[in-house]
Structure 1
Amino acid sequence: MARETAAQRVERIKSEKDGLSVLADIKEYAISNKEIDPEDIDRFKWYGLYTQNKNLQDDNDETLYFMLRIKLEQGAINVDQLRCLSKISEEFARSTADFTTRQDIQFHFIKVIDLPEIFERIQNVGLSSVFAAGDVPRNVATCPVTGIDKDDLYDTTYLAHDINNYLRGNPELVNLPRKYKIGISGCSKHCMGHEIQDLSFTAVKIDGEVLFAVSVGGGLGSNKKIALHLGYVLAAQVLDTVKVITTVYRDHGLRKSRKKARLGHLIDEWGLDKFKACIEEKLGFELIKKPSFKATPYARREHFGIHKSSIAGYSYIGCAINGGHIGSKGLADLADILEKYQATTIKATNTQNFIVLDVPDKNSEKLANTLLDINVDARPSPFKARTISCTGIKFCKFAVVETKDQAILLASYLEKRFPNFDETVSISLNGCPNSCAHPHVVDIGLMGTKVKDEEGNSVAGFELILGGNLEGEVSNFGLKTGIKILPKYLNRTVESIIEQYINSGQNGLHGFLKENIENENFIESLREVWIER
């Protein structure tokens, strides 16, 4: 008998027992302490669980540890939820806690025996891990300041709520061909990143009316595509459009290969015209035909600093943290600070940072200054603001190199080296080719790979990718430079890029990188960093 392909195995596992039903098994495993069926481990993803790398385990520790991802709908966490998550981190996750690029939070070193207690605690404060992973709709990406930003084109809070109500644990969507990512935003800066969502809705004002641009088929990793413009819908048509496109993807998505199973692959197979015709037939109306909109460049998609809210008497504060890492103490300290200054809620961003939503105006400066005591910065350097990183080799089975600590050290190094640099620069450290930290859409992407050291040994390092940018129809993915870097040369290599840009006198790092990506002298200068200085 022919051996199952990866896709055949996953499809069989899902058909034999769906992911939602594994909750009963999780509870049974927790009580009995019996060995977990490997196929149930796959189903654990439906509750936000992945087995983690054994890299940090003691040699005599045979425990099967998991990473647990908690969904934060619309990125929101209130003070009570922060305290709950802090306690979970402290008691069950060795004080680990990180914000993700999908506005979630995740923990490590989770044991199955503790899952029933953890699930009960998060349920009691209105949180859940259901559909945080697996072949399901993932967390809906949103703008964290919708409804409170004075420049907001449309308050999408209720639309995102309606979409989440439809998706949340929906048994009809428990078996999609692959993961499926939706976004909706009324942000004037387009911070949601519609270009890399499977399906997204972006508010655009046309002739005095707000319409929602529908973009489809975007993604990174194996589906590295910029989303295509499908047309426009009215706000009242958004939810129906979500339902139709989602079920079309469920019923017709390509399931023969895991690498060809995203929505973008179905659109490639059918062609955009056929896909659009199918959607319109099922909707019973045609999408509004208008040209695509002009999008904000990726470098300007941020909300850092103190801003007056559209709610009288209140401000919101955009804050940066190091590489998304917050930890148990950080969560507890943040809850204390919010409470002290009469704020109630934060929202996570897709750059692993967060927004304090509702601080009284009189307390905004004091709150921002106090956050500095826990290394959270409302006026971050360009390097701390937009340096993101994936989980890395500490916990991820796919990673080949450490990323979190390296990202923190890199940002700190660049801050000291260029204290007066005031232009936004986006940097991503990714532990493997799976693009969890979006290395192909930033100015400077660093992707984990094997590198030859000075003695010719194969060791962990980074491949350098330059010049990525999200900007609607003129978006481009970064290009590989052919340069592979040992971690010990990473800081100096990035320093050299920034240094040469400053010395060039050009206005705009992105333009400088695009112009020099094929400049042999520039590329060679980066290779020379390998020479000891």
Structure 2
Amino acid sequence: MTVTEPTPARVSRPRQQRGEGQWAKGYFTPLNGNEQTKKDDDGLNVRARIENVYAYRGFDSIDGGDLRGRMRWWGLYTQRRPGIDGGKTGILEPEDLDDKYFMLRVRIDGGRLDLDQLRAVAEVSEKYARGTADVTDRQNIQLHWVRIEDVPAIWRTLEGVGLTTAEACGDVPRVILGSPVAGISAAEIIDGTPAIEEISERYIGSPEFSNLPRKFKTAISGLQDVVHEINDISFVGVVHPELGPGFDVWVGGGLSTNPHFAKRLNAFVTLEEVPEVWAGVCGIFRDYGYRRLRSRARLKFLVADWGAEKFREVLETEYLKRELSDGPAPEPAPAYDRDHIGVHVQKDGNHYVGFAPRVGRVDGATLAKIADLAEAAGSNRVRTTAEQKLLILDVAPDRVEELVSALEALDLQVRPSVFRRSTMACTGIEFCKLAIVETKKSASNLIDELERRLPDFDQPLTINLNGCPNSCARIQVADIGLKGQLVLDEHGEQVEGYQVHLGGHLGAQTKDPKDVEDGAFGRKVRGLKVTAAALPDYVERLARRFQEQRHEDETFAQWTARASEADLS
């Protein structure tokens, strides 16, 4: 028998790797439709067409590349057409899912609002958005039912008080998270507000960073209250033994279908250095970020491939042209009190009052009433948080209880139950084209049921509902994370439901710095799914088992890590 030897090409030629579409490696030819759309025209340029063409000619005149792409650069998404069930998500063509109305995202960097700004958002909500207003876990406010004809008037109203929708969506630097108690908290290491303001002024709306591979999320805080573990870049307040207060730099965090915790660069930067370092990291993402596949286009994938050491080296040598100082890690801190709910003393002797709407949902009329209550209490400053909550700052001690009573009369709870305080929900199928199930009403109903069934439950317990796998509501880092999907009920019928993630968390699990755990993504029990109708029963059952079985000082996340699958089902 004759044996044919393999050709040299088969045995010695290395496998040709496909390019990731990185500009720094010469891949300037767009490798997918999204990249082509961005190359055809900068998303920032769509504003002129909105103001001069689409607002006059109406929805049907909008170019498809603008409608489902570039308009996001100005905070606009088409919302879901009513009546399309979750089974058709991902199956129908975009034009079949699009309604002729928009979600509009108001960008609120650092969560900072004065009363004129809050009233302007309320006015826009009432006049142009059917009264809708949702406080998001990115410190923005989202409006719905917006007509393209009204967008120029909305911009005039918002920009007249210093607000913007610029780059609130799109492949750009999104809103910058900042501590809602920046400058007033006695526990704050350093106030990051000047850095947030400088980045916003210099870079937001600039063509320098208006074409990134995908969205770029930032957090800057002198406290650990802005989910620094899961942002593309975060600056966390620390004290350097020689250089004093400044920030520790983290990069490459993100959730969605492939979650990653951010990595420390072991680098210390001063407040003055933050904008330059931010721009350097953003530049790395622009130039080296993966553009071939949208599913791998977030910074977290580049950081995972490079590692923190190489990332820092590229940052220093190619972008900053200097070395950064090494620095200390932040002290461990619990995550369960990051929302600033309740009445707290400011370092100037006044108080701030944090309160909880139902899963972030308010309305324009309520926002206007909040502004009136703040003004009556002597305050001109309101803050949004990264937990879908609101704060009123600068309240004199003798006005606190009057304000608390007035807020609670609006169902804005200052001293909420565990369930009201710690339940979060994304937009869901009501408006979102990516969603599979409804979330806001389900979460609100769940709160009511749990308050009725478990009135004495007092342990921290986060419950996050998401309408799809994309994790806008951070399901992987919740005690009970609920990912929306269609499931079979007891009759074999396909109904709305959730895949369950258990024991996810950020930060430390106790207040004792000697007894801490790193953050963890939630545990998935094999086959564990629950219908929307059965959700209150399931969460009640789980909470009662936790109460019965927990060890002294044990958190829910710690319990789920050791509990049997039977106890978690």
Q: Deviations over 1:186-214 (max 9, x none)?
A: 01xx1111110101110112437223110
Structure 2 Cα separation of the partners of residues 76 and 13 of structure 1: 33
CA 293–308 in structure 1, closer or farther in 2 if over 3 Å, else same = closer
Pair member with larger Rg: 2
Is contact 1:148–1:310 with CA below 8 Å preserved after alignment? yes
Aligned length: 512
Q: Deviations over 1:102-139 (max 9, x none)?
A: 10000111111111111111111111100000000000
Q: Cα offset for 1:418?
A: 2.0
With 93-102 and 475-484 compared, the bigger mean Cα shift is at 475-484
Q: Deviations over 1:65-107 (max 9, x none)?
A: 1100000121122222222222211221111100011100001
Is contact 2:550–2:559 with CA below 8 Å preserved after alignment? no
2:73 matches 1:46: yes
2:549 matches 1:504: yes
CA 330–478 in structure 1, closer or farther in 2 if over 3 Å, else same = same
Instruction: Note the residue ranges of structure 2 that are not aligned, 5 or more in a row.
Output: 1-28, 85-96, 509-516
Supply the AA of the counterpart residue of 1:171. P
Which residue does 1:531 correspond to in 2? none
Is contact 2:339–2:389 with CA below 8 Å preserved after alignment? no
Structure 1 Cα separation of the partners of residues 339 and 117 of structure 2: 25
2:516 matches 1:479: no
Q: How does 1:395-414 map to 2 (within 5 A)?
A: 395-414=431-450
Structure 2 Cα separation of the partners of residues 201 and 505 of structure 1: 35
Is contact 2:428–2:438 with CA below 8 Å preserved after alignment? yes
With 439-448 and 228-237 compared, the bigger mean Cα shift is at 228-237
Is contact 2:78–2:99 with CA below 8 Å preserved after alignment? no
Which residue does 1:369 correspond to in 2? 405
Q: Cα offset for 1:272?
A: 2.7
Is contact 1:22–1:43 with CA below 8 Å preserved after alignment? yes
Structure 2 Cα separation of the partners of residues 175 and 426 of structure 1: 35
2:180 matches 1:144: yes
Which residue does 1:304 correspond to in 2? 341
Q: Which of these residues, 354, 370, 376, is aligned with residue 334 of structure 1?
A: 370
Is contact 1:131–1:138 with CA below 8 Å preserved after alignment? yes
Which residue does 2:47 correspond to in 1? 23
Structure 2 Cα separation of the partners of residues 363 and 318 of structure 1: 14
Structure 2 Cα separation of the partners of residues 93 and 302 of structure 1: 27
Q: Cα offset for 1:56?
A: 5.6
Q: Cα offset for 1:16?
A: 0.6
With 505-514 and 245-254 compared, the bigger mean Cα shift is at 505-514
Supply the AA of the counterpart residue of 1:492. D
Is contact 2:465–2:481 with CA below 8 Å preserved after alignment? yes
Q: Deviations over 1:152-195 (max 9, x none)?
A: 111112122112222321121110010000111101xx111111
2:79 matches 1:55: no
Supply the AA of the counterpart residue of 2:43. G
Is contact 1:223–1:265 with CA below 8 Å preserved after alignment? no
Structure 2 Cα separation of the partners of residues 206 and 449 of structure 1: 47
Secondary structure of the equivalent of 1:342?
Answer: coil
Is contact 1:222–1:260 with CA below 8 Å preserved after alignment? no
Q: How does 1:93-492 map to 2 (within 5 A)?
A: 93-187=129-223, 190-207=224-241, 209-231=244-266, 232-281=268-317, 282-312=319-349, 314-471=350-507, 474-481=518-525, 482-492=527-537
Which residue does 1:529 correspond to in 2? none
Is contact 2:80–2:99 with CA below 8 Å preserved after alignment? no
Q: Cα offset for 1:311?
A: 2.3
Q: Cα offset for 1:480?
A: 1.7
Secondary structure of the equivalent of 1:293?
Answer: coil
With 322-331 and 466-475 compared, the bigger mean Cα shift is at 466-475
Structure 2 Cα separation of the partners of residues 376 and 274 of structure 1: 47
Q: Which of these residues, 54, 61, 82, is aligned with residue 35 of structure 1?
A: 61
Supply the AA of the counterpart residue of 1:479. R
Structure 2 Cα separation of the partners of residues 448 and 521 of structure 1: 22
Supply the AA of the counterpart residue of 1:212. F
Instruction: Note the residue ranges of structure 1 that are not aligned, 5 or more in a row.
Output: 527-533
Q: Deviations over 1:7-28 (max 9, x none)?
A: 6101110011111100111121
Q: Deviations over 1:257-314 (max 9, x none)?
A: 10111111122333332221111113233233345333323223231211121224x2
Secondary structure of the equivalent of 2:174?
Answer: coil
Structure 1 Cα separation of the partners of residues 149 and 258 of structure 2: 36
Structure 1 Cα separation of the partners of residues 337 and 403 of structure 2: 25
Supply the AA of the counterpart residue of 1:286. E
Q: Cα offset for 1:362?
A: 1.7
Secondary structure of the equivalent of 1:415?
Answer: helix
Is contact 1:297–1:469 with CA below 8 Å preserved after alignment? no
Q: Deviations over 1:31-52 (max 9, x none)?
A: 1224311111111000001111
Structure 1 Cα separation of the partners of residues 407 and 473 of structure 2: 25
Is contact 2:289–2:297 with CA below 8 Å preserved after alignment? yes
Supply the AA of the counterpart residue of 1:284. K
Q: Cα offset for 1:62?
A: 9.3
Is contact 1:223–1:262 with CA below 8 Å preserved after alignment? no
CA 6–237 in structure 1, closer or farther in 2 if over 3 Å, else same = closer
Aligned-residue identity in percent: 38
CA 202–50 in structure 1, closer or farther in 2 if over 3 Å, else same = same
Secondary structure of the equivalent of 1:494?
Answer: helix
Supply the AA of the counterpart residue of 1:211. G
Secondary structure of the equivalent of 2:291?
Answer: coil
Secondary structure of the equivalent of 1:69?
Answer: strand
Is contact 2:339–2:385 with CA below 8 Å preserved after alignment? no
Structure 1 Cα separation of the partners of residues 259 and 181 of structure 2: 28
Is contact 1:425–1:443 with CA below 8 Å preserved after alignment? yes
Structure 2 Cα separation of the partners of residues 457 and 235 of structure 1: 57
Structure 1 Cα separation of the partners of residues 257 and 528 of structure 2: 22
Supply the AA of the counterpart residue of 1:496. R
Structure 1 Cα separation of the partners of residues 417 and 188 of structure 2: 25
After TM superposition, the score normalised by the length of structure 1 is 0.92
With 113-122 and 200-209 compared, the bigger mean Cα shift is at 200-209
Supply the AA of the counterpart residue of 1:377. Q
Is contact 2:238–2:328 with CA below 8 Å preserved after alignment? no
Which residue does 2:21 correspond to in 1? none
Structure 2 Cα separation of the partners of residues 522 and 512 of structure 1: 10
Supply the AA of the counterpart residue of 1:49. L
Supply the AA of the counterpart residue of 2:239. K
Q: Deviations over 1:402-432 (max 9, x none)?
A: 1111111111221222222222211101000
Q: Cα offset for 1:521?
A: 2.2
Is contact 1:451–1:462 with CA below 8 Å preserved after alignment? yes
Supply the AA of the counterpart residue of 1:438. R
CA 123–246 in structure 1, closer or farther in 2 if over 3 Å, else same = same
Q: Cα offset for 1:370?
A: 0.8
